[in-house]
Amino acid sequence: MSALPSCPQCQSEFTYEDGALFVCPECAHEWPAQADTAADDATKIYRDSAGNVLQDGDTVTVIKDLKLKGSGGVIKMGTKVKGIRLVDADHDIDCKIDGFGPMSLKSEFVKKA
């Protein structure tokens, strides 16, 4: 008998592990292999390009020109971004930049101001 848990959605016993996720082949449900993901999200530390710890509401500066997908615009190096919001995603900063509107940035391309 397998040591893997049953699917929480359809109760299938045929789950398998795919990296850090468990996957159900019957209903295609995916869930984290770690049991305590809520505690991990609360303790995740976000750092800028210089290693400074970032927090919600901080002001950051863009450290290189960033091309925007879709619109063809460019966010110039040195652009200040106020009131950032940290999210657990590929682009871990949600913000609003004057002249461009809401967007997401990667923390590796900003420096805490």
**Domain CATH number, residue 91:** 2.30.30.40
- Residue 75 in any domain: the answer is yes
Contact 80, 101 (CB under 8 A): no
69 and 98: one domain?
yes
Q: How far is 99 from 67, CA to CA, in rounded Å?
A: 14
Do the beta carbons of residue 77 and residue 62 sit within 8 Å? yes
Over residues 64-72, the mean pLDDT reads 87
Q: Residue 18: inside a domain, yes or no?
A: yes
pLDDT tens digit string along 36-67?
445 555 578 999 999 999 999 999 999 999 99
What CATH number is given to the structural domain containing 6?
Answer: 2.20.25.10
Q: Of the given ranges (16-20, 21-25, 78-82, 106-110), which has the lowest mean pLDDT?
A: 16-20
Residue 70 sits in the same domain as residue 104: yes
Number of domains in the chain: 2
